[in-house]
């Protein structure tokens, strides 16, 4: 599969390594340009290619967005049409600036991303795990008790594709609902955010958590 990644930081770089190890072709971009990614490109081998953000978005069947949420409106418009977009972003007011609609829980950051990428199918995943856990806890042997990754989205087929990628790189996908409902259940401040849980434990924790009205 061709996978684009916009954002070469801790989460984006770690996912690039996982996907390349799994045999996917990866195009990765950052805000500073492909020349600044030559070292990462060389480190990760021939499956990873440094490109511009627009090229990364147009490259893949799936594109990962792994940038600070506050910059989501800088994404190349129109480049994501027909794409499955994996949203790893989190809203941190101290970093991103306060947004009244998010502060009063009127929407979620993933729903806002979907609004600016209307031709895409956004799936929230990899936002509730620390990058070092993402790097070190992959268990590609399919063993029971793997670390669970909550997944939310409005398109069932897109969630299935993302779930298969999660499984392939060594984690257990757990569908937790739509962007509106599910996204609220694994964003910062929730009981499952950055907590090491297997699939059963994650489901139990989510079941006991209060539902959004």
Q: Is residue 138 part of a domain?
A: yes
pLDDT tens for residues 10-67?
999 999 999 999 999 999 999 999 999 999 999 998 899 999 999 999 998 999 999 9
Closest C-alpha among 184, 171, 188, 179 to residue 213: 184
Q: What is the phi/psi pair of residue 157, to 5°?
A: -65, -40
Model confidence, pTM: 0.95
Region at 196 (left for phi over 0; alpha for psi -120 to 50; beta for the rest): beta
Categorize the per-residue pLDDT at 212 as very low, low, confident or very high, splitting at 50, 70 and 90. low
Question: Which residue segment(s) compose the domain that 36 sits in?
Answer: 2-144+156-171
Three-state DSSP class for residue 26: strand
What pLDDT is recorded for position 210?
A: 67
Q: Is residue 160 part of a domain?
A: yes
Q: Where are the beta strands (DSSP E) in 18-177?
A: 25-29, 48-50, 62-65, 84-87, 121-124, 148-153, 172-175
Structural domain total, the chain: 1
Closest C-alpha among 69, 177, 179, 41 to residue 121: 179
- 101: domain CATH number is 3.40.50.720
Q: Is residue 61 part of a domain?
A: yes
Average pLDDT over residues 91-98: 96
Three-state DSSP class for residue 95: helix
Q: Is residue 14 part of a domain?
A: yes
- Does residue 157 register a pLDDT over 70? yes
pLDDT tens for residues 170-183?
999 999 999 999 99
Q: Average pLDDT of the chain?
A: 94
């Amino acid at each position: 599969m061709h996978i684009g990644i916009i954002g070469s930081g801790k989460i984006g770089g770690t996912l690039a390594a996982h996907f390349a190890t799994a045999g996917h072709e990866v195009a990765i971009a950052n805000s500073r340009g492909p020349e600044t990614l030559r070292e990462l490109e060389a480190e990760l081998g021939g499956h990873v290619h440094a490109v511009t953000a627009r090229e990364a978005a147009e490259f893949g069947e799936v594109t990962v967005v792994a940038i600070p949420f506050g910059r989501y409106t800088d994404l190349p418009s129109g480049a994501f049409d027909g794409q499955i977009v994996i949203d790893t972003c989190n809203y941190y007011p101290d970093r991103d600036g306060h947004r009244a609609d998010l502060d009063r829980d009127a929407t979620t950051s993933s729903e806002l991303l979907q609004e600016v990428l209307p031709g895409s199918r956004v799936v929230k995943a990899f936002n509730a795990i620390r990058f070092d856990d993402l790097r070190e806890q992959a268990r590609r042997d399919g063993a029971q008790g793997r670390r669970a990754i909550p997944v939310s989205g409005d398109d069932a087929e897109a969630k299935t594709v993302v779930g298969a990628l999660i499984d392939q790189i060594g984690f257990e996908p757990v569908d937790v609902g739509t962007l509106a409902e599910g996204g609220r259940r694994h964003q910062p401040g929730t009981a499952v955010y950055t907590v090491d849980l297997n699939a059963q434990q994650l489901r139990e924790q989510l079941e006991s958590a209060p539902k959004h009205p």
